[in-house]
Chains A and B, each alone.
Chain A
């Protein structure tokens, strides 16, 4: 068997906001097919790490390799197009666009065509639009939003928008999916549903990195847990190992 290179390889990542070091020399590797959870107290740098990886923030030191390619200096849209998509902690959807339009947009840039082809809607464009639509409908069915496909996203409830933003990130069938608190601020039924979706996806071979505060969700889902505190990686291991880890307990509950 060939040597497995990690799909995402973060080396010594450091991000400073003036005097504050939000992410401090973090190393992290994720292999294809893994489901890794990133946890840590508030302000420990989880979301900052996400923003660095997806190109929304530039970092001071370190390298980020995605599929063996250095994406350190790429802009967010280039990183997205290379097969790494994400959701946001604060739900983002395009409010005035319909659910279907939201999803179609999530895919169209991945099959980009020239201006005039798009303008004149050549047969290749129409074909791609049809493909995108099929994909969107498949995902809407997956999370049970089919009924709302022609509704502007602003008319959706909070939970529905959360689901929409989740399948939005799934539209281009990314090689790595970053989920920022998928179970935050939704009711228990939705949390269970979300867990099921994530499990199903991972079962199909999707590589997922997620930030989550809900420990029940984390312990249930994660194959491996990475713990950040004050921007530093303080522990890494299986859920059972993390539960026993002194430093983690200390970080969460104090001495």
Chain B
């Protein structure tokens, strides 16, 4: 079973690596970048929603903080992009700390509503603090970034293909971080909280601390991907903090498979690429998308991951009990 899995990942990475060399259509490359963005964004969201099991609705705020940090600092102050990436992540993490401290005092459902409140406040600030954010007009003209460390390397990202490969690197880093964290003993503590908070506490798990770790590291990831978005899209506006993103994230994480790397990667691909590919029938596009969503919700409420599990491990459970 091990070899085909390695082969599968190898084929996937190779395919993605040569994709822009073969397919020259900018549109498809854009879609793949968008998919990559959602992979990281959804994984960062899953750290709290899927791993720890707390439903936060504030996630777009962290993305927005990253995006606005990059926009403001690079347009107004000409900050070096690598520093913007760092600051975007840090500021999002600081915001998460600020939101988390009061919100984690709330119980499950109130926590969701509480964080929703913060998300709405963040959007309001981006619309109304005109001096800083230029309000609804947004901040246009974000320059193409040059990633550089003096005397070491310098990489000017000025073509779509370069953006594509840069995203590839970020996805590898994001997936690596998520996977390493989730499979470490910290990840085990996360899942214990998701499964049974009271039992976890009785085993000595500091519930608030681990919730915070998940929330803050997820926010930092979202902030970094927000910075990327700003450079790639060259325009940041209040729409980037809207609930539209929350909906997409919820669809990807819940229908992909909470707490599962491959479920979320696949979910990010399907639910980002699908609406785009459905453009072949413009009139029916959203209707078809809606029908597919409904189908998944009805028949696979635990997400695509469940289907994969059934395919790959059909009789394991039964065999363990036959010995009795």
Q: Give residues in A with beta carbon < 8 Å to B.
A: 54, 56, 75-77, 80-81, 85-86, 88, 92-97, 101, 104-106, 108-110, 115, 118-121, 125, 129, 147-148, 150-151, 155, 168-169, 171-172
* A115:B191 contact, CB within 8 angstroms: no
List chain B residues, Cβ under 8 A from A97: 188, 191-192, 195
* B188:A80 contact, CB within 8 angstroms: no
List chain B residues, Cβ under 8 A from A147: 323
Residue from A75, A115, A125 in contact with B201 in the complex, judged by beta carbons closer than 8 Å: A75
User: Min CB distance, B238 to chain A, in Å?
Assistant: 34
* A54:B191 contact, CB within 8 angstroms: no
List chain B residues, Cβ under 8 A from A150: 320
Report the bound CA distance from A86 to B202 in whole Å: 7
* B317:A105 contact, CB within 8 angstroms: no
Can you list 29 contacts pairing A with B, beta carbon distance less than 8 Å?
A56-B198, A77-B201, A77-B202, A80-B202, A80-B203, A80-B204, A85-B203, A86-B202, A94-B191, A94-B200, A95-B195, A96-B195, A97-B192, A97-B195, A104-B185, A104-B188, A105-B192, A105-B200, A105-B205, A106-B203, A109-B206, A110-B204, A118-B184, A118-B185, A119-B180, A119-B184, A120-B180, A168-B199, A168-B203
* A88:B320 contact, CB within 8 angstroms: no
Per-residue A-contact encoding for B180-194, CB less than 8 Å = 1, 0 else = 110011101101100
Tell me which residues from 189 to 223 in chain B have a Cβ below 8 Å from any Cβ of chain A. 189, 191-192, 195-196, 198-207, 213
Residue of B nearest to A148 (CB): B320
Report the bound CA distance from A221 to B34 in whole Å: 65
User: Min CB distance, B97 to chain A, in Å?
Assistant: 15
What is the total of A-B residue contacts with beta carbons within 8 Å?
Answer: 90
* B184:A121 contact, CB within 8 angstroms: yes
List chain A residues, Cβ under 8 A from B191: 94, 96-97
User: Min CB distance, B249 to chain A, in Å?
Assistant: 22
Residue from B184, B199, B206 in contact with A94 in the complex, judged by beta carbons closer than 8 Å: B199
By size class, the interface of chain B is 20 to 34
List chain B residues, Cβ under 8 A from A171: 203
Residue from A54, A95, A96, A155 in contact with B202 in the complex, judged by beta carbons closer than 8 Å: A54
Residue of B nearest to A112 (CB): B204
* A80:B321 contact, CB within 8 angstroms: no
List chain B residues, Cβ under 8 A from A80: 201-204
Residue of B nearest to A55 (CB): B201
User: Min CB distance, A151 to chain B, in Å?
Assistant: 6
* B184:A77 contact, CB within 8 angstroms: no
Seed contacts A56-B202, A118-B185; 16 additional CB < 8 Å A-B pairs: A76-B198, A77-B204, A80-B204, A88-B198, A88-B202, A92-B198, A92-B199, A92-B202, A104-B188, A105-B192, A108-B185, A108-B189, A115-B186, A155-B317, A155-B321, A168-B199
Report the bound CA distance from A56 to B198 in whole Å: 8
Residue of B nearest to A110 (CB): B204
List chain A residues, Cβ under 8 A from B180: 119-120
Report the bound CA distance from A42 to B196 in whole Å: 26
* A118:B203 contact, CB within 8 angstroms: no
List chain B residues, Cβ under 8 A from A172: 204
List chain B residues, Cβ under 8 A from A151: 317, 320
| CB-based closest 6 A-B pairs | A109-B204, A94-B195, A76-B201, A92-B199, A80-B204, A81-B204
Given A108-B185, A119-B180, A155-B320, A94 contacting B192 (CB threshold 8 A) = yes
List chain A residues, Cβ under 8 A from B196: 92-94
Report the bound CA distance from A151 to B206 in whole Å: 26
User: Min CB distance, B322 to chain A, in Å?
Assistant: 12
Report the bound CA distance from A8 to B206 in whole Å: 23
List chain B residues, Cβ under 8 A from A101: 188
* B186:A77 contact, CB within 8 angstroms: no
